[in-house]
Structure 1
């Protein structure tokens, strides 16, 4: 079986798991050694201090009698210890205070005067034994000390209860697990956010450089490469569309010239009229394709341009066409705003949906616009047959035409709204199509003011 690479996700999780497990085991195993009730060697400094107390006791004892702790204490005066325990060779104990079980156990376990130890229990500590020789007898002296340590009781409680040890292990592992989860999910969230923007059509979105060698880093690199490949394909498609449009111009011009020569020789006929009509449609299609290509590939810098100057000729032509077709066009006063735009490109974006509304409306077209601190919005309403709901989102695709009221018999190429959408997107805005109550279509164009 092939082992996963250590820099991969599976290898990282494997190492992280075992590192955390070993850390917890090390803590759990080392906890008993941290038990303050364990006996430890007495430091040399403390040993000298305790031996000084032994000499003080010896000085207070009467040399002609057996050692008496109470008499020695009275003669020695106040000593800086909590309790004193003296055990003779027969095991008899003299004490300044009654010894408890911990002290008795300590005296039984630790009985080597050449190696005095110290033990602790809660707030009490015992040290010893220290050799005291008096009147031909040997005694072992132990000293009880008061140790005020608020954390000592907590440590003892943890060591005496396995459940608390388990809780300590969980407290240690929880932040480590959270750290691992954050290390795995944070780059995935960053990548997911970028991929969502790309899925929404924002191909200029930059894939974050995660600087990782694992599968997540490889995924980010592959997504970045995929986006670059997709952008290149789209660019080639646009360039191909532009090249085809330009190449079609030359044979179309020759066909128009040949058609004119035939008409001059033979006169008008139904067939020549049909040819002329088809040539006109083909010429319009090529013109729209060139406009779409220019909208997609425009590279010159935009300029600040007054909206009133842009809209006035468009609205004058629209009012004339509406009057000729017996329809009513309602327009508000021209806006007093200037936008950073490509004037020719935006003019097509505003003119195409307005001409569509004039073409498909029954009797009324309404144009409205308003502005906020960040956007300028223009809406175009008509009272025509409208578009089915499932086809609204498809109106801005190239060559798309609705089958019934808006079909190819009207002479449209299916590129007008696609050109408008491309132009609006180039300006950083968006265009939408919705239903107009009670019937008809509403086109809304929103452009940023900055």
Structure 2
């Protein structure tokens, strides 16, 4: 401030304030707005990425759980019930849905098993009545036919019980196994059996893939198909295993 006149003097008075020297970088930054924008983005981007990762983490957990269910593994995930309040509610609902599906599958399979068991009682009485009829009247073509059909029905019930037991655990008891380890012994046994029946069974080299399946169930399914093929084929049975993207044919 100033100047102020000093009485009886030829000098003037000025009052100043000492300023701290500014860094050249400071002047350079404020003189270039683009640099300010760049520095702001440089500082804020990592924080924004961290916040976005933190916010989407529960959504990723929910996605992984949904993909697991899509593969046929109906397992509840306790981690879905941790995190933000909104996602916790969604996770609880998702686990309740998986639990309900498990109960529904188990109930259906138990019902099938119970029906199969109930069919055994009248079948047993039918076989006993047939045996008594043979004792009284002797064997006949009609009674022989009843016996054959009873045996077939009993075999069907046994197969149904076995299938029901496998399906009851099919969505829970799954293991990771190599394709050749899964089917190799079955194919070699079938090849030997077909040779004894003067038939030729061949199969190509299996692709190297890992499968997550219910091992007894999938082995039983292939074995039934191969045995039917051996039984009804004329001479040659050719089995091909092909891998197309995510599918195995």
**Residue 197 (structure 1) shift:** 1.7
Map 1:171-186 to 2 at 5 A.
Answer: 178-186=49-57
Q: Distance in 1 between matches of 2:69 and 2:21?
A: 67
Partner of 1:256: 127
Partner of 2:100: 229
Partner of 1:199: 70
Q: Distance in 2 between matches of 1:344 and 1:156?
A: 74
Greater relative contact order: 1 or 2 (C-alpha under 8 angstroms, separation 6 or more)? 2
**Contact 2:82–2:88 (CA under 8 A) maintained in structure 1:** yes
Distance 1:353 1:87, change over 3 A: same
The one of 200, 210, 230 equivalent to 1:328 is: 200
Q: Distance in 2 between matches of 1:165 and 1:346?
A: 64
Q: Decide which structure has greater helix share.
A: 2
Cα deviation code 1:146-185 (max 9, x no counterpart): 8251232045426xx6x88777877777666545543443
Asked if 1:318 corresponds to 2:199, the answer is: no
**Contact 1:245–1:286 (CA under 8 A) maintained in structure 2:** yes
Distance 1:170 1:210, change over 3 A: farther
The one of 211, 226, 229 equivalent to 1:354 is: 226
**Residue 211 (structure 1) shift:** 1.8
Q: Distance in 1 between matches of 2:30 and 2:189?
A: 89
Structure 2 segments unaligned to the other structure (5+ residues)? 174-181, 204-214, 241-246
Partner of 1:363: 235
**Contact 2:76–2:99 (CA under 8 A) maintained in structure 1:** no
Q: Distance in 2 between matches of 1:156 and 1:133?
A: 44
Distance 1:206 1:135, change over 3 A: same
Cα deviation code 1:12-42 (max 9, x no counterpart): xxxxxxxxxxxxxxxxxxxxxxxxxxxxxxx
Asked if 1:139 corresponds to 2:139, the answer is: no
Q: TM-score, normalised by structure 1?
A: 0.39
Partner of 1:153: 27
Q: Decide which structure has greater strand share.
A: 1
Q: Distance in 1 between matches of 2:202 and 2:49?
A: 62
Distance 1:278 1:214, change over 3 A: same
**Contact 2:29–2:36 (CA under 8 A) maintained in structure 1:** no
Q: TM-score, normalised by structure 2?
A: 0.64
Q: Distance in 2 between matches of 1:266 and 1:317?
A: 42
Distance 1:149 1:199, change over 3 A: same
Cα deviation code 1:293-313 (max 9, x no counterpart): 34346799xxxxxx9xx7699
**Residue 358 (structure 1) shift:** 0.7
